[in-house]
Structure 1
Amino acid sequence: MTGNPLEVPGVDLALWGKRRGLPGPYPVVCHLLDAAAAMGVLWDLYVSAAGRRHIAAGLGVDDERARRVLMFWAALHDVGKVTFTFQALAEDAFPELVGYPDVPGERIRHDQAAHQWLGPALRQVGYRARSLRDEAFMVAQLLGGHHGRFFELKRDTSDPLVYFPSLGGGKWEQQRQALLGAVHSVLGEPEPPEKRMDADVAGLVCGLVVLADWLVSQDFFVKGRLKARPNANDAASLKAHLVESTRQVPGLLKEAGLGRLRLQPGTFEDEFPFNPNYLQRSLADALPALVGERPGLLLITAPMGDGKTEIALHSARVMGEACGVPGIFVGLPTMATADQIYERVMEYGLRRAIDPAPLTLLHSMAWLNPVYSRDVPPSGEPDAEILTGEGARGAWTAATDWLQARNRGVLAPFSVGTIDQALLAALCGKHNMLRMMGLSGKVIIIDEVHAYDAYMQGLLRRLLTWLGRLGVPVVLLSATLPRQIGHRLVEAYLLGAGHRSPIEVTAGYPGWLYADAESGRVTSRALDTESRSLDVELHEVPIGKDGRAERSSVFRELLKPLVETNSGCVGIICNTVAEAQQTFEDLQDWLGKSFADGTRRPQLQLLHSRFPAEERAEITRTVVESFGKTGKASGKRPTTAAILVATQVVEQSIDLDFDFLISDLAPIALLLQRAGRCWRHPHNPRPSWVSRARLAVLSPVSAGGRPAVPDSWPFVYPAALLRRTREELAKLATAPIRIPDDVQPLVDAVYDEDFLDPNSQMADDDVERIADEQVKTFISQQVTIPEPADVTSLHALTSSDIDEEVIRTRLGADSARVICCYQAPSGRLFLDPSLRDELPMRGSLDKGRFTKAEVRMLLARMIPVPAAWVRGPDPKDPHLVAWRENAHLRDVLLLRHPVDGDGRIRPAEFGNNSFVLSPQLGLVRLACR
């Protein structure tokens, strides 16, 4: 029926929409009007200006009409609760329903009921519903997906009661019709949109519906509205309920920490307490004119330590202000790098935010971060899905309790996290469109773009295509990015923005490139800066019979000046944890003998990923204090000799400065990243035995003296990249690497896909590497959502049944989590080797559930290990049922160290592997049995 508004029939207030935990049933019509109110307030106070423009344009209407349409749709999301299946769930409320027929047979979920029923029903309010491609069915599919997954559109939906009898006829159908008419009337009879929306617009709207639903489903809000529920079902009573909910919802947004980020305008000098360098000055001067009022992608390539993070934040503010996208998300490759950048971004927010700016830290262990969490509720807790209403903390950038629950952190106006938190938006997983909506209101900064393998690059390209379609500004950062990867990333973004023609992407190094989403024009700028030299030495180390490189003698030779003068800070970066542990033991033994006369020996520290989480965090803090930017000023930088033995955990985003760096051979891009930790800060005094930045690279050779790769390294890096790197470094002879002049040529030479000699061993390795990358790229294509232009049904966005934990795990880096414990002769398990602190089998809450403090205490002892190490039968204790019911603990495995009656601790065994947790070395894997 078009042009004739529905009369408001008698909506049955006994039909409940919320019941659990409430003193009485809450009418479904009230919940739907609450959701409509929340949608209107979100449109006014949360959705970015760019997001409102994009949605309104996608609907073919103006801003105000788009607002009314979205409120109407939000008011229909739970219409599927008017079914026998749903109403029968409340044993106390169901008997209050009079005249409703029983519906035997197959049960139907309420979200699926909305999906199946709404398409034909929307004809009554003027929507086209002749074919599945008409807007009525897109709206039905959108609303049916409000629990995170979209259902498939069926061909025969003209009369849903015929094909889906579980919807229920008779009074069930009458009340669904009544509900549709009531909310349509109360909301002012909004007209249908002028055109069928595309998938990108539908995805954003679905995300907003989910958010509106979550906000008004909070227990304290529903309890308050229940007390004032309408006593009559007339239009005036329902309208009054809507008005009052609309008055209260802004408080829900404030309490949840949802709003638009507002940063003070100003120059780079206003934002940061130092003068801009060459890179920062160039972008600060050129970017405003380039951006105009349009979105785009900015790619910044510059050496390590050249202030990319600061200019990225400045550029993000400029780009966001220009095109109406106020928020910021910073994505990084690892949890450790995210933790480091989080504190820097927090300081920026404290200085520049005009209003409170909740800053979320997004990764699986964020709530263990002491700066961030304080009292963060882990997502696996019983109350994680319902808010307590306790409110935000007083700190200017503190994330609210609401934002720290599962799936919500990306909705904050200001976020830092691991890149997978953004990539989940582009994967066929639950609630991906909620995440996409959260990202759409932010400028997306992706740091360390070079650090991702072919699988992650594939996921990133698909995300960039969607961001280009949505008009979301993007900033990509890298110190060592191969040109071909940079080209593909820019091309993916412009593809989403509608530019399918091949483009020429040439980014200078150092320099930057800006791709305009509207015109497709690419502007690049190569910059001149003072060159600095890095001395690079190749030192051959033999591979022993056990397949490991024997490096002790080389270490002693290289460290002789440090020992003789007892001065200087040296970093040693190993490719594997096992080699770092062995190196630490060798050096500890050697230094002990060298300083046996009682002379103060050099400090020796070890840092890698296989310490218990709390210990690793403390070691990292100590390392940053000692070797970081503020080490000298704080008096914590060592004044005598000091050595840090570490793995790749110090390679990215951790600001360290060494006088001399020793590294295992690694692909050139990563070697240069490591070298960025050498002579990083000019204010630090240097020992007399080193005159400029110096990198010693340990190059393994076989017994015959030929270049070779230790048995464990191909699992870390492709053999081809190691061989190519070695050859490029050998070409340098005694010449230093000039930074930045030589960086891009070296990176491109090693990662080049052209092969000159197809019969050589090098070419064989290259073919193997390319084949591996093709497999990873193929797998990435299997798990990503289609390009937005290719989506004809929203079902394609969530059709794959992919486990989120599988998605989050990097291909080839499958990991498990373990906690070491100690088993007494009686069989009881303890957390400490002295058998004093018993391992809690159950939590202190009812039914053995764990408090957040108890979960935090246990996960502070968590250690990540390769999953292959703990495959096979898991000797699970039958008493650990409570662990299996907790989201954070259910997948944690125990490594039990038997403790004999005399106190002797024996190795923990799991499958064919044995382990020892050493206070100095962390978790050590012994030889396989």
Structure 2
Amino acid sequence: MGEKVRGRRLGKRLSPGARAAWAKSSYADDGYLPLWRHMSDSAATAGLLWDRWLPEQVKRLVAQALLGGFADARALAVWLAGVHDVGKATPAFACQVEPLAEKMRRAGLAMPTMRQFGEDRRMAPHGLAGQEILQDWLVRAHGWNPRRAAQFAVVVGGHHGVPPDAAQVMDVRAHPRLLRTPGESEALWAAVQTELLEACADDFGVRERLADWRSVRLPQTVQVVLSALVIMADWIASNRDLFPYGVDGTDGASARTDEERVLAAWEGLGLPGPWQAQEPTGTPEELFASRFALPDGARPHPVQRAAIDLARRMPGPGLMMIEAPMGRGKTEAALAVAEIFAARSGAGGCFFALPTMATGNAMFPRVLDWLERLPDAQGQRLTVGLVHSKAALNEEYQELRSRGRQQIAAVDMDGDAGIPRPGSEKREAPAGLVAHQWLSGRKKAMLS
């Protein structure tokens, strides 16, 4: 797994107020998940995504922005996933479920009811609240420049897809009671927020790195990538079927260790690893013969040879445009070049875009043939997605979906994607290819 799964220590040493903060609740029963537990689950999930799923190219992008390279990059991703919901330790969020709010009040964290807050509560969504709390902590407790702190904190603020704008930030700063109830408990609210962040810095291994990160300029591309990873970790860790909880705030299996809990969830999800392309070293004839079902005696067209030669001579992956008359093998040339580019860059996938559903459906079997012949397809699963609104009617795609379905309820964040149809009798789907159920829907299909 690369690193130990952490987190159980975090919950055991927290104060009663910090342990009382909640993150998830169920309308169907009285079950809920404490905030510290969700922070731990999210961090561990981010670590597994980094170790087992994220392509090398993405890791390198983050690592290049940090003084400690790949080790820093992984630690930062895990830490940001761990602290992403710290904004739930606020009155504006906690008041939403009255029995859980009352439990926090008994621990000394006074707060109005949701009705008493009224519409003002909506000015402090927990992502924005978390951004403010994290930024303030980095500045106040660790001496960061506010602008540098904002580069990191915006990942927390944008973990529901859109980072807060300046007007939203000004609104929440003008209403501090949404983050900490004024009066006797205000100091305790601040102490609980600080306690959670300090515990995460210790448990997720970044305390010694915070001083060095003060000088980092985090490029916007890296902020976006880290936000995406945090969002994905949060989606997975928010799934009650993968990370169950009980009426007393436990996970329903308290005897399990952190590692057992997280690994059980990961195995239940069953995400295949990234595509790890191997750069082909043979001649163009050997490459095309091994990747495509060419007729006996067929030779690559000159445009195909030129594309392969140019891809191999390019110092790094770039943009290649191939123009040729119909029937000259542009599709095969493009796929061969994509394999070379992916091997050189560490990319973990290939996006094949076409203008219509009809052309997409027609091309889909050809892409499957190519995927089936890739060296990386031998011995491990690769995921594939047909991403248009009527993909559910494509028999080959539904055969792949039936192989990728998991016995997990509600894993599709975008709603029911439909019941798999029987596979086509004309073609058997490759055993190494699946259309993973979790990697479907309008929000996640691009991850397949």
Residue in 2 aligned with 1:146? 159
CA gap 1:113/1:280 in 2 versus in 1, 3 angstroms: same
Task: Show CA shifts across 1:504-552 (max 9, x none).
Answer: xxxxxxxxxxxxxxxxxxxxxxxxxxxxxxxxxxxxxxxxxxxxxxxxx
Offset at residue 117 of structure 1 (A): 2.3
CA gap 1:307/1:269 in 2 versus in 1, 3 angstroms: same
Contact 1:9/1:181, CA 8 A, preserved across alignment: no
Contact 2:277/2:343, CA 8 A, preserved across alignment: no
Contact 2:372/2:430, CA 8 A, preserved across alignment: no
What code does the residue aligned with 2:373 have? Answer: R
Residue in 1 aligned with 2:314? 291
Q: 1:259 aligns with which of 264, 268, 273?
A: 273
Residue in 2 aligned with 1:359? 384
Q: Secondary structure at the match of 2:223?
A: helix
Alignment partners' CA distance in 1, 2:191 and 2:382: 47
Mapping 1:665-676, distance limit 5 Å:
none
Residue in 2 aligned with 1:655? none
TM-score (norm 2): 0.77
Residue in 1 aligned with 2:442? 406
Say whether 1:13 aligns with 2:13.
no
Offset at residue 247 of structure 1 (A): 3.5
- Consecutive unaligned residues of structure 1, counting only runs of 5 or more, are 1-5, 231-236, 413-929
Contact 1:19/1:26, CA 8 A, preserved across alignment: yes
Alignment partners' CA distance in 2, 1:198 and 1:307: 39
What code does the residue aligned with 2:204 have? Answer: L
CA gap 1:410/1:156 in 2 versus in 1, 3 angstroms: closer
Residue in 2 aligned with 1:188? 205
Alignment partners' CA distance in 1, 2:260 and 2:414: 22
Q: 1:45 aligns with which of 47, 52, 71?
A: 52
Q: 1:204 aligns with which of 225, 233, 241?
A: 225
- Number of paired residues? 383
Say whether 1:79 aligns with 2:79.
no
Q: 1:347 aligns with which of 369, 373, 392?
A: 369
Contact 1:218/1:386, CA 8 A, preserved across alignment: no
Residue in 2 aligned with 1:56? 63
Alignment partners' CA distance in 2, 1:366 and 1:197: 38
Q: 2:413 aligns with which of 385, 400, 404?
A: 385
- Consecutive unaligned residues of structure 2, counting only runs of 5 or more, are 1-9, 281-286, 421-428
What code does the residue aligned with 1:343 have? Answer: P
Contact 2:243/2:265, CA 8 A, preserved across alignment: no
Q: Which one has a larger percent strand, Structure 1 or Structure 2? A: 1
Contact 2:127/2:156, CA 8 A, preserved across alignment: yes
Task: Show CA shifts across 1:466-492 (max 9, x none).
Answer: xxxxxxxxxxxxxxxxxxxxxxxxxxx
Alignment partners' CA distance in 2, 1:345 and 1:268: 14
Contact 2:90/2:180, CA 8 A, preserved across alignment: yes
Q: Secondary structure at the match of 1:26?
A: strand
Alignment partners' CA distance in 2, 1:370 and 1:272: 22
Residue in 2 aligned with 1:320? 342
Alignment partners' CA distance in 1, 2:321 and 2:414: 41
Q: Secondary structure at the match of 1:362?
A: coil
Alignment partners' CA distance in 1, 2:252 and 2:192: 24
CA gap 1:252/1:173 in 2 versus in 1, 3 angstroms: farther
What code does the residue aligned with 1:385 have? Answer: M
Alignment partners' CA distance in 2, 1:335 and 1:261: 25
**Larger gyration radius, structure 1 or structure 2:** 1
Q: Which one has a larger percent helix, Structure 1 or Structure 2? A: 2
Q: Secondary structure at the match of 2:65?
A: helix
Alignment partners' CA distance in 2, 1:25 and 1:371: 40
Offset at residue 371 of structure 1 (A): 2.1
Say whether 1:24 aligns with 2:31.
yes
Offset at residue 301 of structure 1 (A): 0.8
CA gap 1:382/1:34 in 2 versus in 1, 3 angstroms: closer
Task: Show CA shifts across 1:162-219 (max 9, x none).
Answer: 6432112323322211111111111123423241212111011101100111111112
Alignment partners' CA distance in 2, 1:160 and 1:178: 22
Offset at residue 249 of structure 1 (A): 5.4
Residue in 2 aligned with 1:510? none
Offset at residue 245 of structure 1 (A): 4.8
Higher relative contact order (CA 8 A, sep 6+): 2
Residue in 1 aligned with 2:288? 268
CA gap 1:249/1:321 in 2 versus in 1, 3 angstroms: farther
Contact 1:76/1:180, CA 8 A, preserved across alignment: yes
Offset at residue 72 of structure 1 (A): 0.9
Offset at residue 280 of structure 1 (A): 1.5
Alignment partners' CA distance in 1, 2:38 and 2:139: 23
Say whether 1:177 aligns with 2:194.
yes
Say whether 1:118 aligns with 2:134.
yes
CA gap 1:161/1:281 in 2 versus in 1, 3 angstroms: closer
Alignment partners' CA distance in 1, 2:382 and 2:339: 14
Q: Secondary structure at the match of 1:55?
A: helix
Contact 1:35/1:212, CA 8 A, preserved across alignment: yes
Residue in 2 aligned with 1:36? 43
Q: Secondary structure at the match of 2:19?
A: coil
What code does the residue aligned with 1:196 have? Answer: R
What code does the residue aligned with 1:14 have? Answer: A
What code does the residue aligned with 1:18 have? Answer: K
Contact 2:290/2:373, CA 8 A, preserved across alignment: no
Alignment partners' CA distance in 2, 1:161 and 1:283: 56
Alignment partners' CA distance in 1, 2:21 and 2:430: 41
Mapping 1:709-748, distance limit 5 Å:
none
Offset at residue 9 of structure 1 (A): 4.8
Contact 2:41/2:262, CA 8 A, preserved across alignment: yes
Alignment partners' CA distance in 2, 1:76 and 1:229: 23
TM-score (norm 1): 0.38
Q: 1:279 aligns with which of 303, 319, 324?
A: 303
